Amino acid sequence: MLQFLVRRLVVALLVTMTVMTLAFVLTRLSGDLAISIAGPNATQADVEAVRKAYGLDRPLVAQFFDWVTRAATGDLGESYFFKTRVSNLIAERMPVTVTLGLTGLVIALLVSLPLGILAAVRENTGFDRAVQVVALLGQAMPSFWLGLILMIVLGLQLGWLPISGTGSWQHYVMPGIVLAFSAIPALTRLTRAGMIQALGSDYIRTARAKGLSRASILLKHALRNAAIPVVAIAAVQLGFMLGGSIVIEQVFALHGVGFLAWESIGKNDFPVVQAVVLVLAVIYIALTMLADLMNAVLDPRLRG
């Protein structure tokens, strides 16, 4: 187990370093950063001043090592636009994104667990088919568009929920629903498949033979086994949701990390862009590692 853990950690570290490199290369793609930062009306002298001030006159390799060594200690540099530490900016915005992600995940689980279980129990009935259609519809739904439609219907016409902003918990309901849509198809299918497999196994037949109640068989025996992969995928889905929330944050004007990144791209604020890429990647890496560990703890065969 320890060996598994160590190997997993080493891979995670290597992936993080690769992402750091990619994030650095990404922000240098446009060529001369100083010209972009100084703006279209800058003179040659301005550009030179910017180049010096931001340390962009140093060799690329030196800049790269600077970024990596500082990032390793949690120092993500300073924002060109906000003139504050990038780590503070991200820490300030992170609660909004995490709240949104968790709301989305909870809604997704609340929908897909019951749907998946019922579809499995009634395999190959009209209900099962209907659930699969719902999953297909969810997969095809453009999230930003669903957000706008909900704003029109729930926000404007019915007046149930606020349209944008972050004032209260109600503000997270609509974006949460939209974000949940992206995870519901995968989670529902996985729950259904896991439950079908569990319900067909010997220990369920034993439980039936013992005369246990239907609810007890379903929830205590079958679901517990079917839930392992679902919980693992839910962790990975949360990672995807946090990375993908950039679109939804923009639609609902939620000032989270995704919104920050979107603003910063528009302002050529490179330190923020590369830091957000890195932070989102690290969160995803941590979540997948968590999922792997959960699987390994619960299923020793996977530790090999």
Closest to another protein by CB, 167 vs 266, is: 266
Interface segment toward another protein; rule CB under 8 A; list 44-52, 68-76, 98-106, 233-241: 233-241
How many chain residues bind another protein (CB under 8 A)?
Answer: 58
> Which parts of 84-143 interact with another protein (CB under 8 A)?
123-124, 129, 132, 136-137, 139-143
**Given 77, 101, 244, 256, the residue binding another protein (CB under 8 A):** 244
**Given 46, 240, 255, 303, the residue binding another protein (CB under 8 A):** 240
Q: Using the rule CB under 8 A, is 247 a contact of another protein?
A: yes
Closest to another protein by CB, 7 vs 220, is: 7
DSSP-derived secondary structure for 256-288 = SHHHHHHHHHHTT-HHHHHHHHHHHHHHHHHHH
Q: Residues 59, 64, 66, CA angle at the centre, nearest 5°?
A: 95
228: tokens are: 């392992």
DSSP-derived secondary structure letter, 212:
-
Identify the helix (H) or strand (E) that includes residue 58: none
The number of beta carbons lying within 10 Å of the beta carbon of residue 88 is 13
Closest approach of another protein to the CB of residue 300, in Å:
22
List, in order, residues 6 or more apart from 108 with CB less than 8 Å away.
179, 180, 183, 184, 187, 234, 237
Q: Using the rule CB under 8 A, is 284 a contact of another protein?
A: yes
CA–CA distances in Å: residue 300 to residues 72, 292, 296: 33, 11, 6
**Given 196, 212, 290, 298, the residue binding another protein (CB under 8 A):** 196
Amino acid at the residue 74: G
Encode burial over 243-282: b for 16+ CB neighbours within 10 A, e otherwise. Answer: bbbbbbbbbbebbbbbbbbbbbeebbbbbbbbbbbbbbbb
Interface segment toward another protein; rule CB under 8 A; list 37-45, 47-55, 210-218, 277-285: 277-285
Closest to another protein by CB, 145 vs 169, is: 145
The answer to whether the beta carbons of residues 285 and 16 sit under 8 Å apart is: yes
The answer to whether the beta carbons of residues 159 and 238 sit under 8 Å apart is: no
Question: In terms of Cα–Cα distance, which of 71, 62, 57 is closest to 16?
Answer: 71
Closest to another protein by CB, 207 vs 283, is: 283
Closest approach of another protein to the CB of residue 290, in Å:
13
Closest approach of another protein to the CB of residue 282, in Å:
8
Q: In the chain, where do the E strands start and end? A: none
Q: Using the rule CB under 8 A, is 266 a contact of another protein?
A: yes
60: tokens are: 């690329």
Closest approach of another protein to the CB of residue 196, in Å:
7
Q: How many CA atoms lie within 13 A of 208 on its CB side?
A: 10
**Given 38, 178, 226, 273, the residue binding another protein (CB under 8 A):** 273
**Given 104, 243, 256, 271, the residue binding another protein (CB under 8 A):** 243
Which positions lie near another protein, rule CB under 8 A? 11, 14-15, 18-19, 22, 26-27, 29-30, 36, 123-124, 129, 132, 136-137, 139-145, 148-149, 151-152, 156, 185-186, 189-190, 192-193, 196, 233, 236, 240, 243-244, 246-247, 250, 258, 261-262, 265-266, 268, 273, 276-277, 280-281, 284-285, 288
